[in-house]
Amino acid sequence: MPLARKPRLGVFKFASCDGCQLSVLDCEDELLAIAGAVDIADFREASRAVLEGPYDLSLVEGSVTTAHDAQRIKEIRKQSKALVTIGACATSGGIQALKNFGDVEEYRRVVYAHPEFIATLATSTAIADHVPVDFELRGCPISKSQLLEAIGAFLQGRAPNLPNESVCIECKRRGNVCVMVAHGTPCLGPVTQAGCGAICPAFNRGCYGCFGPQATPNTGALIIELKTLGMAPPAVQRLFRTFNANAPAFRAASESVAAEASAP
């Protein structure tokens, strides 16, 4: 019986550090099995061979920061049966979305002697702000086990089975002592989506929110708690403004602190 064509996988990059697509190559035990199950049609970091679309599954890393990229993602979407964003840049705009809070013209002048050579948009935005997205993998970087689950699910035509609870739940399951309750260490665990394995509390530090906001984050209550621990408002604001600064819930939290700080 002739086998059906293998599904085509594309891996595409926008503004990013390449860490999330490196996670594909970091699946050392599974990489050759993945390559056996799909045709890697377009994955420039790993291969010179490029097969034309359409793609059954496209993994998209990075955020949109240039007019050219805003156009390119539309083309990729047209060619993709399923499109999954991988990582904080693609799902929220990433660390480079800090420019959304600043003056990009001034940024250009600070970094480059000839800012006129540099083409950039004023904002760094999530892929879902430009095209429909079928699933989002969180994290800075993504978790390898979540990536494998997502690839497997799409190949089997089912929804990925991934948690959307908070890091707190994961932390309890791991048996960590709560760093906030026991040590007074500021922690974004209560408002951050699980998936990392609660590694920061396991290393005696507070969560810094690299998986972005969980489904129903009570950021207001956490902000009160952070201040009770002695954090000044600018420090609270910076805590929400890192790798998912432009995720709506974190953005609103940081802006609420800013508004309060500037109130009379």
Which residues contact other proteins by CB under 8 A?
A: 13-23, 25-26, 28-29, 31-32, 35, 40, 43-49, 65-66, 69, 94-96, 98-99, 102, 104, 106-108, 110-114, 117-118, 120, 124, 140-141, 196, 199-200, 202-205, 208, 210, 235, 238, 242-243
Q: Please, which residue, 182 or 215, has the CB nearer to other proteins?
A: 182
Phi-psi region of 139 (alpha: psi -120 to 50; beta: other; left: phi over 0): left
Q: Please, which residue, 32 or 261, has the CB nearer to other proteins?
A: 32
Q: Please, which residue, 81 or 205, has the CB nearer to other proteins?
A: 205
Q: Please, which residue, 39 or 134, has the CB nearer to other proteins?
A: 39
Q: Please, which residue, 174 or 220, has the CB nearer to other proteins?
A: 174
CB of 29 to other proteins, least distance (A): 7
Q: How big is the CA angle at 143 (ends 92 and 243), to the nearest 5 degrees?
A: 30
> Which residues, in sequence order, are bridge partners of residue 60?
12, 85
CB of 134 to other proteins, least distance (A): 23
CA 88 to the chain's CA centroid:
1
CB of 216 to other proteins, least distance (A): 25
User: Locate tokens 């034309």: which residue?
Assistant: 52
The amino acid at residue 234 is P
Among residues 127, 129, 147, which one has the least CA distance to residue 138?
A: 147
CB of 62 to other proteins, least distance (A): 8
CB of 45 to other proteins, least distance (A): 6
Burial of 169 (0-12, 13-18, 19+ CB in 10 A): middle
Q: Please, which residue, 221 or 235, has the CB nearer to other proteins?
A: 235
CB of 141 to other proteins, least distance (A): 4
Cis amide leading into 7 (omega within 30): no
Among residues 164, 14, 166, 167, which one has the least CA distance to residue 85?
A: 14
CB of 231 to other proteins, least distance (A): 11
Q: Please, which residue, 166 or 242, has the CB nearer to other proteins?
A: 242
Q: How far apart, in whole angstroms, are the C-alpha atoms of residue 173 and residue 38? A: 34
Question: What is the DSSP annotation of 228-252?
Answer: HTT--HHHHHHHHSSTTTTSHHHHH
